């Protein structure tokens, strides 16, 4: 058995196979268009690879994708050192090949390869929809995952935001956000955030849906970035830097209005240690244990803190 990088033709072949897992509500041709457009995005072109685990006769036994993401490790002097982390996505084994350990061998081989090729190796992360045991075998450790839900509504009153954000504002919005004051964290680039917005553009085109009027908002020194998940009718908060409870409520109230205007059902954001204490007081907010997208981390070097101490904003999801 061997690990290889997929050719463009092999990527297209895998798209037809993986549609059953991730394609709904798109048709097979629409899903193939989605995948082609996402691969053509600048962030994907810069740091995405598709890996195949092959049998000795060349048959594909399992596949996955990896995306490069910047990460930062704080030294004893408090200074941050930038490194290389990778997100793993689209781990797939066809049904008739499951139960034989192919996915585990693929994950082990990919991690070993990344340890060798990463200039400044830090970690590999994934977001499991099949629980933790499969990936624990390959050294991944899960992080408890909770969501907050808020129904979309044209909510009246409350503290107004200073303004909405457009796609051209993403880089500036990220620059004004506070990075986590923790020993180790991953931080998305503006291109990575725009990759999420490209997903929004694709689904809006293919499903003939209106797009939200903004991709975020600011109030005082506080900032939020969000995107539409048309598949589930949600406005998903990608990054939230709220300096106090009042700002958190203002940003999320604005998100409710934006979601309502776009015909979405709710606003959803991932709980993070830095914002959890601010969210309980937002009127109507409901905390629920996440069903899927369980963050898991595997170190590529010694000395990283335990996975539960690492924050995972939704912008890191793949």
Is the model's pLDDT at 159 over the cut of 90?
Answer: no
pLDDT on residue 291? 86
Mean per-residue pLDDT of the chain = 95
Task: Specify whether the CB–CB gap between 215 and 225 falls below 8 A.
Answer: yes
Check residue 281 and give its pLDDT.
Answer: 82
Candidates 110, 135, 107, 86; CA nearest to 5 is 110
Structure tokens at 131: 């629980």
Note the CATH architecture for domain 146-289.
3-Layer(aba) Sandwich (3.40)
Task: Find, among 182, 195, 164, 188, the residue nearest to 272 by Cα.
Answer: 182
Chain segment 183-203, per-residue pLDDT in tens: 999 999 999 999 999 999 999
Q: In the predicted model, is pLDDT for residue 206 greater than 80?
A: yes
The answer on pLDDT for 157 being more than 80 is: no
Q: Where are the domains of the chain?
A: 2-144+292-316, 146-289
Q: Which residues neighbour 227 within 8 Å (Cβ) at sequence distance 6 or greater?
A: 196, 197, 199, 200, 212, 215, 235, 236, 238
2-144+292-316 against 146-289: fold identical: yes
Say if residue 155's pLDDT is above 80.
Answer: no
Tokens of 172: 């500036």
What pLDDT score does 191 carry?
98
Predicted confidence at residue 177, as pLDDT, reads 97
Q: Is the pLDDT of residue 267 over 90?
A: yes
State the fold for domain 2-144+292-316: Aminopeptidase (3.40.630)
Each residue's pLDDT tens digit, 271-291: 988 788 888 788 899 999 998
Express as a percent the part of the chain with pLDDT over 90.
92
**What are φ and ψ of residue 103, in 5° steps?**
-65, -40
Q: Using omega within 30 degrees of 0 as the cis cutoff, is the peptide bond preceding 25 cis?
A: yes
- Quick one: pLDDT band at residue 122, thresholds 50, 70, 90? very high
């Amino acid at each position: 058995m061997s690990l290889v990088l997929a050719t463009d033709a092999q990527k297209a072949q895998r798209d037809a196979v993986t549609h059953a897992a991730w394609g709904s509500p798109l048709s097979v041709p629409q899903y193939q268009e989605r995948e082609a457009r996402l691969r053509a995005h600048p962030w994907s072109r810069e740091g995405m690879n598709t890996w195949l685990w092959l049998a000795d006769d060349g048959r594909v036994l399992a596949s996955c994708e990896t995306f490069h993401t910047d990460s930062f490790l704080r030294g004893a002097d408090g200074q941050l050192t930038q490194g290389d982390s990778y997100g793993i996505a689209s781990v797939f084994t066809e049904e008739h090949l499951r139960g034989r350990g192919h996915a585990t061998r693929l994950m082990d081989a990919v991690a070993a390869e990344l340890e060798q090729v990463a200039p400044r190796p830090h970690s590999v992360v994934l977001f499991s929809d099949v629980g933790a045991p499969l990936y624990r075998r390959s050294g991944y450790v899960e992080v408890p995952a909770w969501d907050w839900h808020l129904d979309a509504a044209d909510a009246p009153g409350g503290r107004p935001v200073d303004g909405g954000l457009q796609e051209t504002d993403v880089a500036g919005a990220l620059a004004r956000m506070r990075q986590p004051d923790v020993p180790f964290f991953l931080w998305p680039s503006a291109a990575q955030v725009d990759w999420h917005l490209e997903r929004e553009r694709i689904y809006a085109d293919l499903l003939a849906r209106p797009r939200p009027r903004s991709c975020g908002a600011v109030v005082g020194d506080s900032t939020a970035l969000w995107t539409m998940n048309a598949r589930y009718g949600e406005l998903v908060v990608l990054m939230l830097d709220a300096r106090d409870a009042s700002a958190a409520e203002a940003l999320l109230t604005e998100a409710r209005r934006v979601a309502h205007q776009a015909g979405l059902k709710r606003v959803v954001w991932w709980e993070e240690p830095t914002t959890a204490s601010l969210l309980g007081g937002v009127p109507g907010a409901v905390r629920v244990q996440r069903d899927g997208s369980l963050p898991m981390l595997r170190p590529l070097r010694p000395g990283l803190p335990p996975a539960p101490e690492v924050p995972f904003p939704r912008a890191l999801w793949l």
